[in-house]
């Protein structure tokens, strides 16, 4: 009998219960016990839902109140020593100190989980790092699951992936820590075995990356150390192919291996040809990263030969954890009725697994009605006239060589821009958004519910824009923003005004901690029926004599942060988005907005996980950005923003985007990213973030002054901007004004020193 299991379930809750519980706790409105109760209720609800879906094994340990990598550090007792927390005495409140910072310590660095929009907290290692297993962090939820009658499969992040995803804070070799780390894993796995656990899922997603030879060579001895002491180990890989690691995969002393058959379907034939006779093969056949309904008829045809070959050693699962998709499509009573049958969220994906197993175990006739419904939905999407727009296709085909190039090189543009803008040395700005207060959210909700008419809503948003402009003027910022009060999300706002998108009401996914996003569903060809931001930017500019930035989201980020159609190359979809944004850029310029920021925080996120595939992606991604921006005059200044990514290895591509000013996140990494920009000799202007907006902590003037001096050591003052590291929508006004005041004070002090040396 074919078995089915899951690698992980969304944590936030169908109604974002975890988000709201976290934020109540952080505001001091709820106790830690109340937060723990919500977390426990969610875990149990999700386990029971998976049990009801017929899963043979249900993941335990995938739930995290903030981040699963952070949970792993507490489980192994590998906490950064700078926080002064004893792992043996750590409480449920302590992870939030590491995640959000303390009065004396900045938060741990955060970066993207592979090429997804989920952010994890980066482990901090040094040559003195020790490990002290604290099994209670896993044993307690395991006991909860078992009390519910759930067939529990504990989930662990594997040792080599944990080390690879971390950073050495003293330059030491992380791999040198492996023996001590394996001792900790061995102790933990032996404890689980003593508890009667049958299977443990141990995730090693970095096995699909371009690892150095010594890291690859460490896998076999590492698992030879662990396997004899452990329950049966299911080593899970995902997001990339491991076909070129065939010999290693076959030689690993584990009881089973999970392969991603959605992102890398070609690897299955290569690896399964002589699959070891004593090993389970888990195939991730349901897409854990996107929301399109699976073609069950096609999957059954593909899986039937494997089922005949492997029998009960064939397990089926989603391609990866369902963390990356919304919880339940059944809630979406207002979703476009034509598009809704094309979709599947986490709950529906589990049902797809159940149907596949039933069809393979009992025959296709046992699910004949479900297969007919699936065939109808797949055909409906394939033939819908809303998916293809001939005018968009014609415009895309008409793009000419040079359409993605500015009129002049950066040095000439910089002169024209300074003549127009007359900015001081070290100009100051923010990244775009200001606090989304309860008044703003309530007004938007009332307008969407029809309780507030459009004129009243617009007046309310104009009042918020006026407030933001006046506060920026009082602070003394040089280039202002309108604050984006009218925007629900930096991608959703634009998707709502572009053809080719539909939207959910409850389609939330976790980005980090309590931060959730509701990705638009990009199902068809993209075009812009009318201007999207011009009226708001023109109103804001009318309030001040200082330059006002027009704020847009770039084509690559809209692509990456949407659930994107899978029926054409992503490059084509991105170019469609670029043309729509190009129209908006030109309308802003024609309306007198001469500073325009086209945010691309997801630029590196879209990078393929294997180096061999980078060049193609970087070519079309940089081309799409330039295509969106290149139509403007030299005197119009184009900004872009990128955050929480490692850029060291793609700086030529970032330079090829040819933005006049790039703002980047550097505060959590203590400006270390700037070293790469200096070594590369990045040619245009840079605004390194001088403080971390993702933490409520307000850095001192002295801290920001030191960061500015670090920046000046590698970036000429004439090309250095000063700004926070990201938008301020998640902060309150008190935090925002205090931090910006310190930023402006630090800037004035550093400017004075520069003036004295001239």
Query: Would you list the DSSP string of 668-682?
Result: TTTTHHHHHHHHHT-
Phi, psi of 345 (to 5 degrees): -95, -170
**Whether residue 37 lies in the annotated active site:** no
Cβ contacts of residue 676 below 8 Å, gap of 6+?
647, 648, 651
| Angle at which helices 346-362 and 32-52 cross, to 10° | 30
Tell me, what DSSP letter sits at residue 570? H
- Tokens 């697994």 belong to residue: 353
Q: What angle do CA 528, 563, 100 make, to 5 degrees?
A: 110
> Where do the H-state alpha helices sit in 195-326?
213-217, 219-226, 246-251, 266-272, 296-310
List C-alpha distances in Å: 553 to 380, 480, 490, 516, 581: 31, 17, 6, 18, 8
| Cβ pair 178, 222 in contact under 8 A | yes
Distance, CA of 634 to CA of 417 (rounded, Å): 7
| Cβ pair 12, 19 in contact under 8 A | yes
Q: Please return the burial class of 142, using the count of CB atoms within 10 Å of its CB with bins 0-12, 13-18 and 19+.
A: buried
Per-residue burial over 388-417, b if 16 or more Cβ lie within 10 Å, else e, is: ebeebeebbeeeeeeebebeeebeebbebb
Q: Please return the burial class of 504, using the count of CB atoms within 10 Å of its CB with bins 0-12, 13-18 and 19+.
A: buried
Catalytic-labelled residue, pool 68, 258, 623, 694:
694
Distance, CA of 355 to CA of 409 (rounded, Å): 58
Q: C-alpha 253: how far from its chain's center?
A: 33
Q: Could you list the beta-strand ranges (E) of 123-182.
A: 124-125, 152-157, 167-168
Distance, CA of 333 to CA of 331 (rounded, Å): 6
Q: Please return the burial class of 265, using the count of CB atoms within 10 Å of its CB with bins 0-12, 13-18 and 19+.
A: middle
Distance, CA of 427 to CA of 441 (rounded, Å): 31
Active site residues: 694
């Amino acid at each position: 009998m074919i078995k089915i299991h899951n690698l992980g379930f969304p944590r936030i809750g169908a109604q974002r219960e975890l988000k709201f519980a976290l934020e109540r706790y952080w505001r001091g409105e709820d106790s830690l016990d109340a937060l723990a109760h919500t977390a426990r209720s969610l875990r149990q609800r999700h386990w029971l839902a998976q049990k009801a879906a017929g899963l043979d094994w249900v993941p335990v340990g995938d739930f995290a109140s903030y981040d699963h990598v952070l949970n792993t550090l507490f489980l192994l007792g590998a906490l950064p020593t700078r926080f002064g927390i004893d792992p043996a005495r750590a409480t449920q409140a302590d992870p939030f100190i590491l995640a959000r910072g303390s009065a004396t310590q900045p938060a741990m660095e955060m970066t993207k989980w592979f090429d997804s929009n989920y952010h994890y907290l980066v482990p901090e290692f040094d040559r003195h790092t020790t490990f002290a297993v604290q099994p209670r962090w896993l044993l307690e939820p395991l006991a909860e699951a078992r009390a519910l009658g759930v067939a529990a499969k504990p989930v662990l992040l594997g040792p080599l992936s944990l080390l690879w995803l971390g950073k050495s804070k003293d330059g030491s070799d992380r791999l040198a820590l492996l023996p001590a780390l394996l001792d900790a894993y061995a102790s933990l796995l032996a404890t689980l075995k003593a508890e009667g656990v049958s299977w443990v899922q141990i995730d090693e997603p970095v096995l699909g990356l371009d690892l150095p030879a010594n890291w690859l060579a460490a896998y076999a001895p590492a698992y030879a150390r662990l396997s004899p002491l452990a329950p049966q180990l299911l080593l899970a890989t995902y997001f990339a192919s491991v076909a070129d690691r065939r010999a290693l995969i076959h030689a690993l002393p584990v009881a089973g291996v999970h392969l991603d058959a959605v992102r890398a379907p070609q690897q299955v034939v290569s690896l399964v040809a002589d699959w070891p006779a004593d090993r389970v093969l888990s195939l991730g056949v349901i897409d854990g990263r996107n929301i399109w309904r699976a073609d069950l008829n096609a999957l059954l045809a593909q899986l039937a030969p494997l089922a005949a070959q492997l029998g009960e050693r064939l397990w089926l699962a989603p391609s990866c954890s369902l963390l990356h998709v919304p919880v339940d499509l059944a809630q979406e009573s207002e979703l476009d009725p034509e598009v809704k049958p094309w979709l599947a969220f986490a709950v529906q994906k589990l049902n797809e697994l159940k149907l596949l197993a039933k069809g393979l175990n009992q025959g296709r006739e046992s699910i004949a009605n479900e297969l007919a419904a699936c065939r109808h939905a797949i055909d409906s999407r394939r033939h819908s006239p809303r998916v293809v727009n001939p005018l968009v296709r014609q415009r895309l085909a008409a793009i000419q060589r040079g359409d993605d190039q500015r009129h002049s090189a950066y040095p000439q543009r910089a002169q024209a821009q300074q003549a127009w803008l007359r900015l001081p040395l070290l100009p100051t700005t923010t990244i775009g958004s200001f606090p989304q207060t309860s008044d703003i959210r309530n007004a938007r909700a009332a307008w969407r519910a029809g309780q507030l008419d459009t004129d009243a809503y617009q007046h309310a948003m104009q009042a918020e824009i006026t407030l933001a402009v006046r506060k920026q003027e009082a602070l003394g910022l040089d280039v202002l923003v309108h604050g984006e009060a009218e925007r629900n999300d930096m991608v959703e706002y634009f998707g709502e005004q572009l053809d080719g998108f539909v939207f959910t009401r409850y389609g939330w996914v976790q980005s980090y901690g309590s931060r959730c996003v509701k990705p638009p569903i990009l199902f068809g060809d993209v075009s812009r029926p009318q201007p999207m931001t011009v009226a708001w930017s023109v109103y804001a500019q009318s309030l001040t004599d200082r330059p006002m930035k027009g704020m847009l989201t770039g084509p690559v980020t809209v692509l990456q942060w949407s659930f994107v159609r899978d029926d054409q190359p992503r490059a084509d979809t991105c170019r469609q988005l670029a043309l729509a944004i190009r129209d908006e850029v030109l309308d802003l310029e024609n309306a007198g907005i001469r500073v325009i920021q086209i945010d691309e925080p997801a630029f590196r996120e879209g990078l393929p996980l294997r180096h061999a595939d980078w060049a193609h992606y970087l070519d079309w991604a940089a081309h799409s950005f330039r295509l969106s921006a290149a139509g403007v005059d030299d005197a119009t200044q184009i900004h872009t923003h990128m955050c929480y990514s490692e850029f060291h290895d793609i700086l030529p591509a970032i330079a090829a985007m040819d933005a006049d000013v790039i703002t980047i996140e550097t505060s959590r990494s203590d400006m270390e990213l700037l070293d790469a920009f200096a070594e590369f000799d990045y040619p245009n202007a840079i605004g390194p973030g001088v403080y971390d907006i993702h933490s409520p902590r307000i850095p001192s003037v002295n801290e920001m002054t030191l960061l500015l001096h670090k920046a000046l050591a590698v970036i000429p003052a004439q090309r250095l901007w000063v700004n926070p590291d990201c938008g301020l929508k998640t902060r309150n006004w008190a935090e925002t004004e205090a931090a910006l005041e310190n930023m402006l004070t630090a800037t004035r002090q550093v400017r004075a020193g520069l003036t004295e040396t001239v």
